[in-house]
Structure 1
Amino acid sequence: MSLLMNISLARHGECVIAFENLCDQLFDFDVIPNDRELAFICKVGRGMSIDPRRWQFLASPDSLDNSSNE
């Protein structure tokens, strides 16, 4: 699924699916978010009440511990 498809999903009210797809794509393409990006991903996921398992695979446990403080 392309980035444009995720944007289309979000515009049509499917924000949770778009977020989950984005996280999956980051993982599939071996994209490692930096600490700031991961903190933002965590903030968005929590704000949308998404199960943390949908994004926690993107970082090491140390990164997740640090992002929970923001």
Structure 2
Amino acid sequence: MSDGPDNLVLAMLRRMDGKLDRGLEELHDIKVRQTAVEENMAGVHRRIDRLDERFQRVERRLELTEATR
């Protein structure tokens, strides 16, 4: 009769271990996706910076702003 409670505890521990493994896999997936989002945002910021530089150059050429030279 002593096998009954031990088996029940082992079964519960195995289920908990499986859930923990799935949670860790999901966390890994989230971290990978977050990294991709951060890289894409960095690309967007670089493009915005380049556009800002281009707008400033156009404004200087059209003499819409004071030249900084």
Q: Same fold (TM over 0.5)?
A: no
Higher helix share: 2
In our comparison, the structure showing a higher alpha carbon Rg is 2
